[in-house]
């Protein structure tokens, strides 16, 4: 029963997070039918078991205690993988930072929590005599949506310099951040994001080949 419930709840999360792919009742039934087939039970047997556990709450609660532990392990594993993907990979060419290691592409949707990617680089050696290019490829932009926008900035101990641009076309997109100076004359970090505003309909934007290039003045 525990393994069936584990897969059922994972399916519930999949349906709620991908309502466009599971908009019809038929697709939902196919998903749950696949789970019952995997575990060799029928919908009727599953429902009968739920009734029995409803009369034996101590056993039911024990199952959910185990499920919570399994979901916690799964969540930690997913979060660790995301952090590894978001780790900036500095290539042998020190003037290029590949964003992010192990991640080929990101999908932005209009769903809350899935409509932005961001970064904050405080481990990259910066110089006030450098300018930076934030580059990426984007697909899915059209005149019928509220345009996404990109933010790119450099931080100093006493201030920040930020540039924001709307993304109104598909293909390669570049944001230039010219050399910035401050009283301290010592940049500390680069930061930025790509954000998709709320939309009237569910859409998907693909971001890939994300990178930052450092250029010396005069080159």
Q: Where are the domains of the chain?
A: 2-86, 91-216
pTM (global) more than 0.85? no
CATH of 91-216, one of 1.20.1740, 2.60.120, 3.90.930, 1.10.10: 2.60.120
Structure tokens given for 16: 């709620």
d(CA 146, CA 196): 8
Question: Can the peptide bond before residue 207 be classed as cis, meaning omega within 30 degrees of 0?
Answer: no
pLDDT in tens, the chain (219 residues): 888 888 888 777 766 655 566 667 887 888 888 888 888 988 889 888 888 887 887 888 888 788 778 777 776 665 566 555 555 555 445 576 766 655 567 888 877 778 888 888 876 666 667 788 888 889 888 888 889 999 998 888 778 888 999 999 888 999 988 776 655 667 788 889 999 888 877 788 888 888 888 777 655
């Amino acid at each position: 029963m525990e393994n069936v419930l584990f897969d059922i709840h994972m399916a519930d999360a999949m349906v709620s997070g991908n309502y466009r792919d599971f908009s019809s009742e038929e697709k939902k039934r196919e998903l749950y039918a696949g789970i019952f087939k995997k575990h060799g039970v029928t919908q009727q047997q599953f429902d009968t078991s739920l009734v029995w556990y409803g009369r034996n709450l101590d056993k039911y609660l024990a199952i959910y205690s185990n499920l919570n532990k399994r979901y916690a392990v799964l969540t930690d594993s997913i979060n660790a993988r995301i952090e590894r993907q978001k780790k900036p990979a500095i290539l042998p060419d020190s003037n290029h930072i590949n964003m992010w290691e192990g991640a080929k592409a990101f999908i932005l949707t209009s769903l809350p929590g899935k409509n932005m990617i961001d970064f904050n680089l405080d481990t990259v050696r910066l110089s006030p005599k450098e300018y930076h290019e934030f580059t990426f490829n984007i697909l899915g932009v059209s005149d019928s949506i509220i345009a996404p926008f990109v933010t790119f900035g450099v931080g100093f101990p006493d201030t920040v310099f930020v540039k924001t641009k709307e993304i109104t076309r598909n293909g390669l997109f570049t944001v230039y951040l010219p050399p910035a100076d401050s009283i301290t004359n010592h940049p500390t970090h680069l930061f930025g994001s790509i954000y998709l505003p709320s939309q009237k309909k569910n859409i998907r934007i693909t971001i890939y080949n994300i990178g930052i290039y450092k250029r010396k003045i005069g080159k």
